[in-house]
Amino acid sequence: MLRERTRMVHQLETRGIRDPVVLAAFDQVPREQFVAPHLAAHAYEDRPLPIEAEQTISQPHIVAVMVQALELVPDSVVLEVGTGSGYAAAILACIASHVYTIERQPQLAQTARSRLARLGFFNVDVRCGDGTLGWEQQAPFDAIVVSAGGPVLPQALVDQLAVGGRLVMPIGDATEQRLIRVTKVSASELRQEDLGAVVFVPLIGAQGWEDACVFAV
């Protein structure tokens, strides 16, 4: 799998991922450990793959785009909303000082927690709960990444973002989502950038969608 991982990292670089720290993180994390054994042969293809609870592990390129947009440094404290398989949390943990990640599906939260511990990512805390409300006890965060599409920026996450910090998440519905980066310039000022079109599962919670029906075709 090492050869396939090296090839994936090279493809990320050719597609615009230039931060050497981000590329090094993708080179360290064994993606095959985050999917079912029968999908391991496809682990380094640039596409989403199914995981438990009818969810998916995002394609490597979009994970890389989001991580690069966070502009992390070694002492960054990061909040991730939507743990899923735990793969993105592992990537973040290779760069940041500490990662707090929230997953609303108990099965996914427990599986990710066990997997990350087994692989030695001890600077990650996994919590099962409503990610749209953030993790107030650990705030403020230098960076927040949301791996699901919401109708608007959750105010709780904006409040928990440190001044100077960045929040990256998809905004929109099933028809159209845009990947947005918000920089908290001051306590009362946000700067917003559009990073392009994306497709994510719905962000369910008190400050997201009430349920997944809005994304039903």
- Between the alpha carbon of residue 99 and those of residues 72, 126, 184, the distances in Å are 11, 9, 19
Strand partners, 100: 79, 125
186 flagged as catalytic: no
How many other CB atoms are there within 10 angstroms of residue 11's CB atom? 16
The DSSP bridge pattern shows strands 177-186 and 189-198 to be antiparallel
Instruction: Count how many Cα atoms sit within 13 Å of the Cα of residue 22 in the half-sphere of its side chain.
Output: 22
Q: What is the DSSP letter of 58?
A: P
* Nearest Cα to Cα of residue 60 among 38, 79, 85, 37: 85
* Nearest Cα to Cα of residue 34 among 82, 74, 87: 87
Instruction: Count how many Cα atoms sit within 13 Å of the Cα of residue 14 in the half-sphere of its side chain.
Output: 7
- Residues serving a catalytic function are 58
